[in-house]
Amino acid sequence: MLVIDGSYGEGGGQILRCAVGLSTILNEPVKITNIRANRPTPGIKAQHYVVIKSIEEMSDAKTENLEIGSTKLTFIPGKFKMGNYKFDIGTAGSITLVYQALILASLKTDKKLNIKLTGGTDVKWSPSWDYFKHVFIPLVKKIGVKVDVNLLKRGYYPKGGGEAEINISPGSHLKTLKLDKETEFSKIKGIVNIAQLSTNISKRIKNSAIRSLLRNNLQPDISVEENKTLSPGTGITIWTDTKDIILGSSVIGERGISSEEIGRNVVNDLLSEINSKSTVDSYAFDQILPYLAIVKGESKCIVKQISNHAQTNMWLIKQFLDTDFQAKQEENNFGIVVNKQ
């Protein structure tokens, strides 16, 4: 049985989620030790528990030591069963992180899956719903993944209560990703989401982002979405409006950070990606690495930087697969080649 040290590198929940996903795809039993050992509260958290428990239920996988707080897990994969499933992460656990793990795990399913989740849609330390929908999902679709997503209700920290569903279709035919040509951008799309707060806040976030984009000769198309939720919250996600290359950025509203600063921050983050001539942004890069590593052949892209998350993911993937990662450092970016023999 393959044994993975969950404390390696970045040492967070990503190792656990990705390891279980790869285990399922490759039908390779795995034991993960030292889970989240580098975190203030080590062990399996609610969102990680839901990932593994849902895969267990949908595929008749077998587990040992699956409980919240456990620092080790044995996972023996099974085969997905067609059906409609519903899981509750509890409070504001990240819906998008759970979905990313479930999409990866179900890549080779020959069954149609409908999966509804309840939890947090826009929370710290995870992709916002709009980033997930408008950046991550289009990227994995380019790789050949057959998945559609639908937001039913937003959910913010601390109460959560957000709802979403995804439909995964069988027969994904994965293909390499060739995004190694620099692109000029002119239009930027975006969504400001808000609930239980003054609409003046969302207007100020939107106007601040628009002013920053116009100053940089980018044409904005930003809408405001008002929601009814259990907890108040706000945030903004923006992304490049092109057919081939999608770069994104998102900021969750926090106490002590002005609306104007939120608008400026989300634009500055995206501008740093655009100015580096990236073809995949730094956040999406580590999220799509497992897909690129599975596809036979050579994938190429340009990234501004290789984050600790991405380095950890590369290490983890190489425990499962004979995939070669090459990074050529240029003046403002890295040229990436992922090659699976």
Instruction: Please indicate whether the domains covering 2-178+280-340 and 187-275 agree at the CATH topology level.
Output: no
Chain segment 237-267, per-residue pLDDT in tens: 999 988 889 999 999 999 999 999 999 999 9
Residue 305's pLDDT band, with cuts at 50, 70 and 90, is very high
CATH class for the region spanning 187-275: alpha beta
Q: How far apart are CA 133 and CA 95, in angstroms?
A: 12
Q: How far apart are CA 279 and CA 332, in angstroms?
A: 13
The residue ranges of DSSP E strands in 11-135, in sequence order, are 30-33, 62-64, 73-76, 83-88, 113-119
Would you list the domain boundaries of the chain? 2-178+280-340, 187-275
State the catalytic residues: 309
Chain segment 13-53, per-residue pLDDT in tens: 999 999 999 999 999 999 999 999 888 899 999 999 999 99
Would you identify the CATH topology of the domain 2-178+280-340? UDP-n-acetylglucosamine1-carboxyvinyl-transferase; Chain (3.65.10)
- Residue among 328, 266, 276 nearest 304 (CA): 276
In the beta sheet, which residues pair with residue 253? none
Chain segment 78-118, per-residue pLDDT in tens: 999 999 999 999 889 999 999 999 999 999 899 999 999 99
Q: What percent of the chain has pLDDT over 70?
A: 100
pTM surpassing 0.75?
A: yes
Q: What DSSP character marks residue 155?
A: -
